[in-house]
């Protein structure tokens, strides 16, 4: 889809917010209270308790009253509210699109694409009759090996917050409820059902909670509490933790992760949990709201609290107008192959969604290296100049589709991780197919679609151009306990199946080797300095159009603009955190002693030089920065500057703004506080303006329990990455 059409779509998505947010929260709660006043106790509890893991058509449903309610301004018929994974597309359902992952969406640094993706996701969820999109995930990448990092948006709270904000605006503009997850500090898969994440108050507000605060500002309808304990109390009945949401203005309802509830109904309800899913015991927990009726009858849960819980759930439904003219559930997640009487096999795919997936895939591809020392080296590739091409690596071929949440199915190209956050991958265009179509009869392709080192070297030997593919995957622990020896979290940062060795072997026999990496996060890239490797593309986990989006970049149809949403270090120790694999004695208690200092924040503090820094990414053109202006109004700071495309190729630049706090503020040396995606024709210039808000200028002050702007001199740094600063100023 042309950029101007997507821009129009994004504009319309903004305009549709008013159309679908049919009622204010106050009006929604007023109507909800009317309905609750007419309900029996059993009807109320039916709205708060899931129907069971295997008794629902969706991943989660509630039991609605069998009757309608006549309210002052409407007749309310409550549907069997449908909650469904996942953040990258609809899970356990056929005829849907495999969207790019959260981490790839962050790699675009494009609010336009973030919002457009949210709207497109919601169109498909709504088309299937899903009321609640269980996403976005906004778990901070505390350690790069965390299994579900790819579902979220990286280690930076500002980038994660903006990505979550735009996603939620997009989703709810289509009348679908978004569910922000997982609250809070859900950062590893090992021991996730009982490990305690111990986090100090300042780190809660400035790092792990920050994206959730942005989700509340986006008017998110629900928030999911996490499996892990938080400061040694189960997250779903952790009153001080859940109170933070209300303190920040959250009006919606809280829902448990599936089986994340423990102890009694009163413990959970009185702490602030409103809905329990899936409603029954699933080996790790759950079924506590089976005792909710008794808890109300014995007054351990006040009747007023029960009513409040129901009103919050109903208000979310009414707020987005889902009680009228909303599609009925037309699938059965228990039979994801589409069989059975309950599956109507409604096709919600569209050409527009396919085009968007392809655009995000290309916009999220990060060009890490590009040696253009002569006309036939590096990228973009003029295919007419080559007669023999090798395509090497199993990551180039089609994987098994419609796999059980993609666990143990990574024998082809990697487009998404495994687990409940994945999409129902029933369609995918692998790199080998897209490359073959692109090359046509221009050259002869020799392929070795395995990671056999000898076979790969044989295929590549003497070729004019070699494209070699490797990947690294991760996912959810859950019931996908062991995927090629990885228990959700990755064991290390190596490419799988000796992918790094494969790349080196190909480069040893091919002087023009282009390496493509699909990965869920940072990987070891020690081989990038090999002189025979002319280009390296980090393509991440880009969704079903992985082949076409890559060819768009290889061919120069798209000038790459993807930027790293995390740091790629030389050594694992450079990240300053670890996954706790072995606790020694029971569920571990994990102290987040690093506080605010993770990823680039930690490396900057320690003076560690990264291999590829946060925000890094090359282009086929060059950009100049000039004319920095800083205007401090006291409550906010406006920063403006000029960006010029000084090269000969049209392209998109991603200017980034980093803020340095006054000495003594206890902050990292610099933190991201602004970004934009600016398309410029060759020779064109544009003025870019970014605003730093009062909260973004502030630190969390524990004694006063408030945001406080420190006094002193702030430093503004603007550039193409955190290490490629072009303009600096102070205020």
Domain 365-566 has CATH 3.40.309.10: no
Q: Which residue has the tokens 């190209």?
A: 413
Give the mean pLDDT of 42-62: 96
Q: Which two three-digit tokens encode residue 620?
A: 């086929």
Q: Residue 268 has which token pair? A: 């959970």
Strand partners, 275: 255
Decide if pLDDT at 15 tops 70.
no
Strand partners of residue 700: 707
Write down the pLDDT at residue 8: 36
Write the DSSP symbol of residue 137.
Answer: B
What's the whole-number average pLDDT of the chain?
Answer: 95
Confidence check: pLDDT of 317 > 60: yes
Q: In the predicted model, what is the mean pLDDT of residues 350-379?
A: 97
Tell me the CA distances in angstroms from 112 to 116, 165, 187, one per residue in order. 6, 12, 28
pLDDT digits (tens, 9 = 90+) for 153-201: 999 999 999 999 999 999 999 999 999 999 999 999 999 999 999 999 9
pLDDT-derived band of residue 33, with 50, 70 and 90 as boundaries? very high
Distance CA 220, CA 255 (A): 13
* 262: helix, strand or coil: coil
What is the Cα–Cα distance from 117 to 130, expressed in whole angstroms?
17
Structure-block tokens of residue 641: 């500057």
Beta bridge partners of 224: 255
Average pLDDT over residues 269-278: 98
Look at residue 722 and tell me whether its pLDDT is greater than 70: yes
**Which whole-number Å values give the CA distances from 470 to 360, 381, 400, 452, 518, in the listed order?**
20, 20, 17, 12, 6
Residue 438: other Cβ atoms inside 10 A: 18
User: What pLDDT, on a 0 to 100 scale, did the predictor assign at position 574?
Assistant: 98
Is the pLDDT assigned to residue 499 strictly greater than 60?
yes
Tell me the three state secondary structure of residue 149: helix
257 is catalytic: yes
pLDDT the model gives residue 584: 77
pLDDT for 423 equals 86
- Mean pLDDT in residue range 105-131: 98
- pLDDT digits over 207-249, tens only? 999 999 999 999 999 999 999 999 999 999 999 999 999 999 9
CA distances, 305 to each of 42, 121, 166, 280 (Å) = 15, 34, 32, 22
CB 388 within 8 A of CB 455: no
Please state which of the ranges 476-480, 561-565, 568-572 shows the lowest mean pLDDT: 476-480
**One CATH from 3.20.20.300, 1.10.1040.10, 3.40.50.300, 1.20.120.450 for 3-95+127-319:** 3.20.20.300
pLDDT value of position 661: 98
Reference 308, options 279, 274, 276; nearest CA is 274
The least confident of 7-11, 133-137, 383-387, 708-712 is 7-11
Three-state SS for 104?
Answer: helix
Tokens of 46: 């039916």
Stretch 38-62: mean pLDDT: 97
Domain boundaries, the chain: 3-95+127-319, 365-566, 621-730
- In angstroms, the CA 528 to CA 526 distance is 6
Q: Which helix (H) or strand (E) holds 730?
A: strand 724-730
Structure tokens at 614: 């946060």
| Alpha-carbon 482 to chain mean position | 23
Looking at residue 425, its pLDDT comes to 83
Ranking 332-341, 589-598, 665-674 by mean pLDDT, the lowest is 332-341
Q: Quick one: tokens of 665?
A: 């503020």
Contact call for residues 480 and 473 (beta carbons, < 8 A) = no
Alpha-carbon gap, residue 82 to 133, rounded angstroms: 9
| pLDDT higher than 80, residue 11 | no
Instruction: Kindly report, residue by residue over 380-432, the tens digit of the pLDDT.
Output: 999 999 999 999 999 999 998 876 566 666 789 999 999 999 887 889 999 99
Whether residue 14 is predicted with pLDDT greater than 70 in this model: the reply is no
Check if the beta carbon of residue 453 is closer than 8 Å to that of residue 447: no
pLDDT-derived band at 2, boundaries 50, 70, 90: very low
Look up the CATH number of domain 621-730: 2.60.40.10
Cα 99 from Cα 360, distance rounded (Å): 9
Q: Which of 42-51, 72-81, 263-272, 581-590 shows the lowest mean pLDDT across its residues?
A: 581-590
Q: How confident is the model at residue 22 (pLDDT cuts 50, 70, 90)?
A: confident
Out of 462-476, 517-531, 572-586, least confident range: 572-586
Distance of CA 538 to the CA centre of its chain: 17
Distance separating alpha carbons of residues 407 and 74, to the nearest angstrom: 46
Q: Beta strand pairing status for 196-198 and 589-591?
A: parallel
**What Å distances lie between residue 160 and 111, 141, 567, 615, CA to CA?**
11, 10, 15, 13
Give the CA angle between residues 101, 104, 108 to the nearest 5°.
140
- Give the pLDDT score at 484: 86
Residue of 139, 156, 257, 676 with catalytic role: 257
Mean pLDDT of 637-650: 98
Which residues are CB-contacts of 246 (< 8 A; sequence separation ≥ 6)?
272
* pTM (2 d.p.): 0.96
């Amino acid at each position: 889809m042309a950029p101007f059409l997507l821009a129009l779509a994004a504009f319309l998505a903004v305009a549709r917010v008013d159309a679908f947010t049919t009622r204010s929260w106050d009006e929604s709660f007023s109507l909800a209270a009317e309905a609750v006043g007419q309900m029996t106790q059993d009807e109320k509890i039916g709205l708060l308790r899931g129907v069971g893991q295997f008794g629902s058509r969706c991943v989660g449903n509630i039991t609605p009253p069998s009757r309608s309610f006549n309210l002052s301004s409407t007749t309310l018929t409550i549907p069997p509210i449908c909650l469904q994974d996942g953040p990258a597309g609809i899970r356990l359902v056929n005829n849907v699109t495999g969207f790019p992952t959260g981490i790839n969406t962050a790699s675009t640094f494009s609010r336009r694409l973030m919002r457009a993706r949210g709207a497109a996701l919601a169109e498909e969820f709504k088309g299937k009759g899903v009321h609640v999109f269980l996403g976005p995930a906004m778990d901070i990448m505390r350690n790069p090996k965390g299994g579900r990092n790819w579902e979220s948006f990286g280690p930076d709270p500002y980038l994660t917050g903006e990505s979550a904000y735009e996603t939620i605006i997009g989703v709810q503009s289509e009348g679908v409820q978004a569910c922000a997850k997982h609250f809070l500090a859900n950062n590893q898969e090992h021991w996730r059902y009982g490990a305690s994440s111990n986090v100090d108050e300042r780190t809660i507000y400035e790092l792990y909670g920050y994206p959730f605060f942005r989700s509340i500002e986006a008017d998110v309808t629900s928030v999911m509490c996490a499996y892990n304990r938080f400061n040694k109390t189960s997250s779903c009945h952790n009153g001080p933790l859940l109170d933070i949401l209300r303190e920040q203005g959250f009006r919606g309802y809280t829902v448990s992760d599936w089986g994340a509830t423990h102890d009694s109904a009163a413990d959970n309800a009185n702490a602030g949990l409103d809905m329990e899913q899936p409603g029954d015991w699933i080996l790790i927990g759950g079924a506590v709201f089976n005792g909710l009726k008794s808890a109300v009858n014995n007054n351990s849960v006040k009747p007023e609290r029960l009513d409040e819980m129901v009103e919050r759930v109903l208000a979310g439904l009414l707020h987005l107008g889902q009680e009228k003219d909303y599609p009925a559930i037309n699938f059965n997640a228990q039979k994801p192959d589409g069989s059975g009487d309950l599956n109507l096999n409604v096709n919600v795919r569209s050409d527009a969604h396919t085009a968007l997936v392809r655009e995000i895939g290309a916009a999220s591809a990060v060009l890490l290296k590009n040696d253009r020392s002569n006309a036939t080296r590096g990228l973009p590739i003029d295919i007419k100049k080559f007669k023999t091409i090798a395509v090497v690596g199993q990551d180039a071929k089609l994987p098994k589709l419609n796999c059980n949440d993609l666990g143990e199915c990574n024998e082809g190209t990697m487009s998404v991780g495994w687990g409940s956050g994945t999409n129902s991958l029933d369609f995918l265009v692998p790199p080998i197919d897209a490359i073959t179509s692109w090359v046509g009869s221009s050259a002869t392709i020799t392929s070795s679609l395995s990671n056999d080192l000898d076979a790969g070297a044989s295929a590549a030997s003497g070729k004019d151009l070699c494209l070699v593919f490797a990947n690294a995957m991760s996912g959810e622990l859950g019931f996908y306990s062991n995927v090629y020896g990885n228990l959700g979290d990755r064991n290390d940062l190596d490419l799988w199946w000796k992918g790094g060795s494969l790349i080196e072997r190909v480069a040893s026999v091919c002087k023009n080797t282009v390496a493509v990496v699909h990965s869920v996060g940072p990987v070891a890239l020690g081989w990038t300095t090999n002189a025979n490797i002319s280009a390296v593309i980090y393509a991440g986990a880009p969704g079903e159009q992985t082949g076409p989006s890559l060819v768009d970049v290889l061919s120069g149809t798209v000038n790459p603009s993807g930027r790293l949403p995390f740091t790629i270090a030389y050594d694992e120790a450079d990240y300053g955190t670890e996954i706790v694999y072995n606790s020694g004695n029971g569920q571990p208690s994990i102290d987040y002693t690093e506080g605010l200092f993770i990823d680039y924040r930690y490396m900057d503090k320690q003076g560690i030089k990264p291999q590829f820094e946060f925000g890094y990414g090359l282009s086929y053109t060059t950009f100049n920065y000039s004319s920095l202006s800083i205007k401090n109004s006291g409550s906010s700071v406006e920063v403006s500057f000029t960006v010029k495309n000084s090269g000969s190729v049209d392209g998109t630049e991603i200017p980034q703004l980093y803020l340095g706090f006054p000495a003594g503020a206890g902050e990292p040396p610099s933190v991201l506080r602004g970004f934009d995606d600016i398309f410029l024709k060759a020779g064109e210039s544009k003025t870019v303006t970014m605003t730093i808000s009062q909260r973004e200028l502030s630190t969390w002050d524990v004694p006063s329990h408030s945001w406080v702007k420190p006094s002193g001199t702030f430093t503004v740094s603007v550039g193409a990455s955190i290490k490629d600063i072009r303009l600096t100023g102070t205020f």
